[in-house]
Every structure is written in C-alpha cells, then in structure tokens.
C-alpha cells in the first residue's frame, strides 16, 4: 500500500455522473475495486447531492469506513446503516422566508424534513411539473415520500433541504427569487441524466467543500483529492489539493481540474485509484 511517510490523503468522489454509470448504478467492478482498496487502507468516501436514503440503494455495496457527505454537505451519514451522523437545518426565520418565496413548490418541488432520526420528503397531491411527477413516480413505493394536506405541513419537523424539478423556464424564476438572499445555499443546474433542471436549497455554508474540510480536519488528513463531473462539485474542486474531472464532466469543471480521467461509463475513478495505489506500493 501507500508509503505512510507521504502525506495522509483523503480521496472523495461525487456519485452521479462520476462514480455512477449513466444507468444510475455502480458497476460490480467499481464496487469490487473500491472495497478492495478501502480494505487495504485507502481513505475513501463519496460526496453527493443525494440524501443517504437515495444514495444507499445505489452505493450501499461500498464498505466505507468514513462518513459520506450527502445533500451537498448538509448531512454526514453512515453508508452502511443510513444513520444521520450530523445534519444542518434551516432556522425558523429561514423557514418563514422560504415559505413566502416558494409558494409554487407544491407544483414542482418537495421539502426534506427531519423528524427524530427519520428524514421524510414532503409534497402535495395535484398537478405537478413533468420533472417532479417523474421523481414521484420513481419513489411511489417509498414510505419516506409523504403527501401533505397543506402547504404549511410541507415544512414540518425540522426542514433541511428544498428541491425543485422542472423545465428551465419553470425553475429559473424560483432560483432568481431565492438567490437574492444570502441566507442559504442555492444550486441551479441541469440534471446529469435528463433534460430537466434542478434547484436545490440548503442551509448557509452547507457545501461539499465545507463538509470535506471538516472531515479532513476531524480525521487528521493532510491532503484532499476529489473526483467530479458537475457544477455542484465546483466548491470541492476549488479547495482540493488535486481535482480530477471525468471525461464526461461539464466544461466549467474541467477548467478547474488538475487533470481529466476516463468516462464514468468505464469505471474511471475506480481504475484511477487502483493504478495510483499500485504506483505507491
């Protein structure tokens, strides 16, 4: 394995479009390689916009020893159990203002709320954007997807994340409203796999970068190496010692990259790490 006289490095990959293939799965080869490397001592985890509840059905086969960064940095979780290790939520003032600004989200969005140790996603019955309806259809059998009777009830418990999905012309005006306030993080981008656009709003200072810097500090890592493909990876690319974009990455991310590796369809991250560890033996 690596020469331990070298700096202690944390390796982190985005999921969608980076570690995952275009069919939204992790290949058996990626799971095998990553698990072998982790077992031999590679400090590896993933950072994703997904909730851990959404990520685990895909990435649950990874035997990771470090917390995973989910909800773009708003929630640290255990990939094996799904437990929320640390979570950030909106303040009461934030919730009040968001409710004023987001009256159209019953049509195009949902709210992720924490109730005790559980996270639920809330929306309402009725006509939905094509993007949201596709999402709801996909999760139709998921018990954590809840249909509330009123708009206020969508913000139950401790709200910690708001997601809007739809056509660009449907979602961009909402983004323009929320980005006028410096009270939260708001990311607006086209989906990795489809033509729809996503707006994701989370508490202030909840970014992949902030969470990874804290993880790096808590576990005593000296360096950070990251892999990504999309706009929500920009923050971690900017603070990493090395940042690698997959060949299918957005051009904006490639411009920030230390280097370009292969495509997500070809298990590029797993093979890159495997080759790196062989060189460090």
User: How is residue 116 written in tokens?
Assistant: 């005790």
**pTM assigned to the model:** 0.85
pLDDT at res. 5: 37
Output the pLDDT for position 152: 96
CB contact set of 141 (below 8 Å; sequence gap of 6+): none
Residue 195's pLDDT is: 83
- For position 281, what pLDDT does the model report? 62
Residue 9 has a pLDDT of 96
| Mean pLDDT, the chain cut into blocks of 10 residues (281 residues total) | 59 96 95 97 95 93 96 93 94 97 96 93 97 94 95 97 96 97 93 86 92 94 96 94 96 96 97 89 62
pLDDT in the model for residue 3: 41
Please report the domains of the chain, with CATH numbers, ordered by start residue: 9-81+206-279 (3.40.50.1000), 92-203 (3.30.1240.10)
Exposed/middle/buried for residue 23 (C-beta within 10 Å: 0-12, 13-18, 19+): exposed
CA distance 233 to 73: 11
Q: Residue 136's pLDDT is what?
A: 96
Cα 183 to Cα 18: distance, rounded to the nearest angstrom: 30
């Amino acid at each position: 394995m690596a020469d331990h006289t070298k700096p202690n490095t944390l390796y982190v990959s985005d999921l969608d479009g980076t570690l995952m293939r275009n069919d939204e799965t992790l290949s058996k080869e990626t799971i095998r390689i990553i698990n072998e490397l982790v077992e031999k001592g590679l400090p590896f985890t993933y950072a994703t916009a997904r909730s851990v509840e959404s990520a685990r059905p895909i990435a649950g086969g990874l035997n990771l020893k470090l917390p995973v960064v989910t909800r773009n940095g708003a929630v640290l979780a255990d990939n094996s159990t799904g437990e929320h290790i640390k979570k950030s939520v909106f303040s009461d003032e934030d919730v009040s203002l968001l409710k004023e600004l987001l009256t159209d989200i019953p049509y195009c969005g949902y709210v992720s709320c924490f109730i005790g140790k559980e996270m639920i996603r809330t929306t309402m019955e009725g006509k939905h954007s094509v993007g949201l309806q596709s999402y709801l259809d996909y999760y139709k059998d998921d018990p954590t997807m809840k249909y509330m009777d009123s708009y206020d009830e969508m913000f139950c418990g401790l709200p910690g994340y708001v997601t809007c999905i739809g056509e660009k012309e449907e979602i961009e005006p909402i983004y323009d409203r929320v980005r006028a306030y410096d009270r939260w993080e708001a990311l607006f981008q086209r989906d990795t796999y489809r033509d729809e656009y996503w707006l994701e709003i989370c508490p202030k200072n909840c970014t992949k970068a902030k969470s990874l810097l804290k993880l790096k500090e808590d576990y005593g890592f000296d360096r950070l190496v990251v892999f990504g493909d999309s706009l929500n990876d920009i923050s971690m690319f900017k603070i990493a010692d090395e940042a690698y974009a997959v060949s299918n990455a957005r051009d904006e991310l490639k411009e920030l990259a230390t280097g370009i590796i292969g495509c997500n369809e070809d298990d590029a991250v797993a093979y890159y790490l495997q080759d790196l560890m062989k060189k460090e033996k």
